[in-house]
Every structure is written in C-alpha cells, then in structure tokens.
Amino acid sequence: MNINAQMVKELRKKTSAGMMDCKNALKATEGDPEKAIEYLRKKGIEAASSKFNRQALNGKVESYIHLYGKIGVLVEINCETDFVANTKEFKEFVKDIAMQIAASNPKYISREDVPNSIINKEKEIFYAQVEKADKPAPIIEKIVEGKLEKYFKENCLKEQIFIKDNSKNINQLSLELIAKLGENIVIKRFARFQLGEEI
C-alpha cells in the first residue's frame, strides 16, 4: 500500500511520534491508523515522544578520540535527572553518539537545524544535475526531493543510520532509550575535529 504524507501527518498528530516512525508504523500495518498507533505503543515510541517537552538540564559531556588522535569529538547530551545521567544505558548512549559523530561526520543534529540558505543551495545543485536528463517537471521535482532526503540522512545526526545497528537511525535509538529510562533525552550540541582539515 502507498503511504502518503497526509497519512503520516495525521498519525504524527495523534501520537507525537517522529515522521519516520509514523511512516514505518503505517507500512508495517498496511496503512491502518489504529493498528499503527498500537504498533507505536508496543515499541514505546509514542510514550517516548510525549516526553520531548520536558526540560533536560542534566546529562554528560563526552569526548571521543579516534584513529590515533586524528579525529576528536565533543558531544553534550542532556537528560532530566542526575540519576539517569549516571545509568549504564545513558553513558553507553552518549559514547555511541560520540563514536557515531566521529565515524559519520554529521553537519547538523536534525533537519530543522539546516539553514534555508543551505537547503536552497543544495536544491539548485540538484536541479542543475537533473535538468540535463530532459524529464517532465513533476519527475524532476520528485528526483530533487529524493536527493534532498538523502542529503538530510547523510548530514543530520538524528537521521543517520546507527553505525552499530543498520536497522535503526539515531532518532529511533534515542526514542528507545527515552522509553526505557522514562526521561527526555536531548542531543544538545557537538563539535568534531579532524587533523589537518581546513578551518
């Protein structure tokens, strides 16, 4: 069954779950919204998403040095309480995120952080690449949107495939931990340094 944007939007409105989680739930339940809600609940995603508005003022700053000191990462990840910040699960998550940043070199935390000027510039490049193919305008539009989605998945940390488990992205990993620990968890900021790169 073809899952359209409106269906995803409606499910997201009902559950507050992420766009990709809603899309995957609808795919898994053949577009049945009630079954999709149940699917999300079983995964703990709906409950996790409802915690997003809670303040996360505790957490950890983690450093990670990779490849004999050639790549270094600093990342700040917040949670609500010092108790959760000191749990094994939270500490492992923070380390995994630092390693993810070192390995996958994201430029932003989420697609909402990508400036419009960058999105417009990328679209210009994509249009220039596709227009040579002499295809109808609607097809060109779809190809450009597909390329933009790929750009987000490669450059936005939350949308990157988790390096330790390619069945989930970082956002899904985060939601699973929120559901498990019962607190909001926020990837606040990061910096990645590579030896010899231009400033």
Domains 5-49 and 115-155 share a fold: no
C-alpha–C-alpha distance, residues 18 and 146, integer Å: 19
The residue extents of the domains of the chain are: 5-49, 58-109+156-194, 115-155
**Where on the phi/psi map is residue 31: left (φ > 0), alpha (ψ -120 to 50), or beta?**
left
* Cβ partners under 8 Å of residue 76, min gap 6: 59, 60, 61, 187, 188, 189, 190
When the candidates are 2.120.10.80, 3.20.20.80, 1.10.240.10, 3.30.479.20, the CATH number that belongs to 58-109+156-194 is: 3.30.479.20
| Both structure tokens of 35 | 């079954």
CATH number of 115-155: 1.10.286
Share of residues in the chain with pLDDT > 90 (%) = 51
Residue 199: pLDDT over 70:
no
Residue 73: pLDDT over 60:
yes
| Both structure tokens of 127 | 């249009």
Q: 5-49, what's its fold?
A: Helicase, Ruva Protein; domain 3 (1.10.8)
C-alpha–C-alpha distance, residues 91 and 56, integer Å: 15
C-alpha–C-alpha distance, residues 22 and 28, integer Å: 10
Q: What secondary structure letter does DSSP report for 137? A: H
- How high is the pLDDT of residue 87? 95
Residue 52: pLDDT over 60:
no
C-alpha–C-alpha distance, residues 62 and 185, integer Å: 15
The per-residue pLDDT for range 21-44, each reduced to its tens digit, is 788 888 888 888 888 888 877 766
C-alpha–C-alpha distance, residues 15 and 50, integer Å: 8
For the chain, give the mean pLDDT.
87
3-class secondary-structure state, position 188? strand
